[in-house]
Every structure is written in structure tokens, then in C-alpha cells.
Amino acid sequence: MKILVRMPNWLGDGVMATPFLQTLQAHFPNAHLILIAPASVCALFERDGGYSLIVDQSKSAKNRLLATYKLAKSLAPCDLAFALTNNLYSALLLYWSGAPIRIGYAKNLRSFLLTHALQFQNTHQVLSYYNLLSPLIDPLPVAPPLKLSAKPFDLQTTRKAIGLSPGAAFGSSKRWEAAYFTQVARHFLEQGHAIYFLGAPSDQELVQKIAQPLDTHPNLHNLCGQTTLHALIDTIASLDLFIANDSGPMHMASALQTPLIALFGPTIPLVGKPWQHPKARSLFKNLPCAPCKKRTCPIKSGGPIEPHACMKAISPQEVIDAANELLQEERL
């Protein structure tokens, strides 16, 4: 049996799809699972067995429609197919794969391409993916925790190792204030703890802005843009605490059960909060303008709500207090 899964495009969403994959594998233990996704999402599963990983490069092709058709035909015939993304191209991929059972959400005028076009519900993203199994598995068991393979290591610090991830690939609206990250880093450096800045190469300028006021400190480690995806996962798994925006690394920390403070502004914890993680704290101010879900803050100065107020309203002291609470608890 050959099962095609068009995975999500974002790292964090890829992590949140792991309960779906675990249950799919358990229900079809002898199936050949083909995961199609951008390279970064495919890399999440390189350490896992049981999957064939195919990078979807159709978006960068001159003719995306033709590239999608060729990709589908290179895999055909499939017996079962799922679309975890909601665009038309993923539904076309399923249709052209020849799969007689094609499951996805009824969005973007694509229902005619699916045999099971489910109605979308506003729920946690983990459950949005997981509920796609409902046409095949009844009753559907409770969704398991997130799963991510890691090889933790000793960060060689005599105090606590605290990771800060100030980036967010979605856009600037999800990013907590740079000056706030500086204040938090300074506080814990003064306490004798070690600070590790983590992020993608695109976050380097932001991290330099945050770290510059801290000068050179032996316990300050800037690893931003200097780690592979697997090294990033292993580093997060080795931390005593991780502080991050709503981002891919935040969901990695949730999967790894690293004590976590997640900062939410233009998105809401209902949809993307750390999944089944007892040592996670989600900070969110629930302002009238939230959740706008915009890449950049649309609010102009001079109104009743200041630009980026959803993130600015989360104070450094709130984060420090939540961090101290988690650091005092014994790690699971």
C-alpha cells in the first residue's frame, strides 16, 4: 500500500503534524509512506524510519501546474493520499497521483478534487491535521504528543542553559521586542546562567542587535545561523529553558519537552500553543486587534492601540518571572 502525504510548508506545522503521522503509521503498519514537503520540513524526518521523503520544488518552477503534475505522476499510482496544506496545488497533487481516496479540507474551491472534503474547524493546529484521519479511523484515538528525534548533549555549563529564539519566519508581527530580549538575557547572565541565541541565518542581524548591548560575556553564546537543523534540535533538547516566539523552534521545544515560554501576539494559543507540554507557559495579552494573523502589524500610530502592542504588552519582567518559576521546577 502506498500512502501520499502532502505535508505542511512551515517547520512548526511540520512538527505539529507528527501526531497525525504516528497514528497513520500505527493504523497502516505495512504501508509505504511518502512525505512531500519543502526541504526544511523533510529534514525534520531524516532521522526517522518508515518514510520516503521528497522535496517539493514545484513552487519555484516556471510552470507550477506542470511541475505538480509531473511530481504526482512520478509517484503514481498511490492508494491513499492526504493534503495537510489547503491550497489548490496540493489537491491537484492528490488527484493526479491516482489515489482512489483523497482526503483534505474543503477550502479554496478544491473540493471536487477530493473524495473526502472535510469542513474546516477552528481548533488547535495539531487537531486540524489529526482530524483528517477521521474518515478512515473510527473512533479516532486521542492524539498523541508531538514527536521529534534528538540527540541531547552536555552544554558544559555549571548553571542553567537558557535558549533565546527571537526570530519568526512568518514575519515581524510575531517577534517580541529586541530590547526585551536584551533585558531578559542581561538578567540571566547577571545570575550566572548561560545564554544561547538560536535562529536561522536570516535572524543574524536581529540577534546582533539584541546581543550588542551585552558586550562580550563568557556565558553568552551566539549560535544563530551556525547550526544545521539537526544541531538546532539537539541544542534545544539540551537546554534547561527555551524562550521563543510562536515559531518553528518553539514547536520543536514542545516536541522535545524542553521547559518553554512561548510568546504570542498576532496569533492565538488556541491554535498553536505548545501541545501536551506540562512545563510550557504561553504568554498572550488578547488585545482587541488580535489575532490579526498579519505578517507585519497593520496598526498605525496615534490610535487607541499602538503598533505591535500585542507583543510590546508582554513585559520582560513577566517573562523573567515565568522563567524563574520553570527553572525552579525539576525537569521531567
Residues 310 and 206 in one domain: yes
Q: Is residue 269 part of a domain?
A: yes
Query: Other C-beta atoms within 10 Å of 103: how many?
Result: 22
Residues 172 and 116 in one domain: no
108: left (phi over 0), alpha (psi -120 to 50) or beta: left
Query: Other C-beta atoms within 10 Å of 111: how many?
Result: 15
The angle, 0 to 180 degrees and rounded to 10, between the axes of the packed helices 229-238 and 248-256 is: 50
| pLDDT at residue 178 in the model | 94
Residues 212 and 311 in one domain: yes
Residues 175 and 300 in one domain: yes
Span between the terminal Cα atoms of the chain, in Å = 39
Q: Is residue 152 part of a domain?
A: no
32: left (phi over 0), alpha (psi -120 to 50) or beta: beta
Residues 171 and 127 in one domain: no
Q: Is residue 85 part of a domain?
A: yes
Residues 106 and 240 in one domain: no
- Sheet of strand 260-263, all strands in order from the earlier edge strand to the far edge: 220-222, 194-197, 161-165, 241-245, 260-263, 280-283
Strands 80-83 and 101-105: parallel
Q: Specify the pTM.
A: 0.93
The CATH number linked to 110 is: 3.40.50.2000
Q: What is the pLDDT of residues 296-327, one digit of tens each?
A: 888 888 878 888 889 999 999 999 999 999 99
Strands 80-83 and 51-55: unpaired
Q: Is residue 220 part of a domain?
A: yes
Q: Is residue 202 part of a domain?
A: yes
- Sheet of strand 2-6, all strands in order from the earlier edge strand to the far edge: 51-55, 32-37, 2-6, 80-83, 101-105, 116-118
List the domain range (segments joined by +) for residue 106: 2-133
| pLDDT at residue 307 in the model | 81
Per-residue pLDDT of the chain (332 residues; tens, 9 = 90+): 999 999 999 999 999 999 999 999 999 999 999 999 999 999 999 998 889 999 999 999 999 999 999 999 999 799 999 999 999 999 999 999 999 999 999 999 999 999 999 999 889 999 999 999 999 999 999 999 999 999 999 888 879 999 999 988 777 888 999 999 999 999 999 999 999 999 989 899 999 999 999 988 899 999 998 889 999 999 999 999 999 999 999 999 999 999 999 999 888 888 999 999 999 999 999 888 888 888 888 888 887 888 888 999 999 999 999 999 999 985 44
| pLDDT at residue 331 in the model | 47
Residue 332 to residues 15, 162, 164, 278, Cα–Cα distance (Å): 21, 16, 20, 9
- Cα separation of 215 and 323, whole Å? 23
The residue with cell 540577534 is 207
The residue with cell 489547503 is 86
The residue with cell 489548490 is 88
| pLDDT at residue 330 in the model | 56
Domain count, the chain: 2
| pLDDT at residue 241 in the model | 97
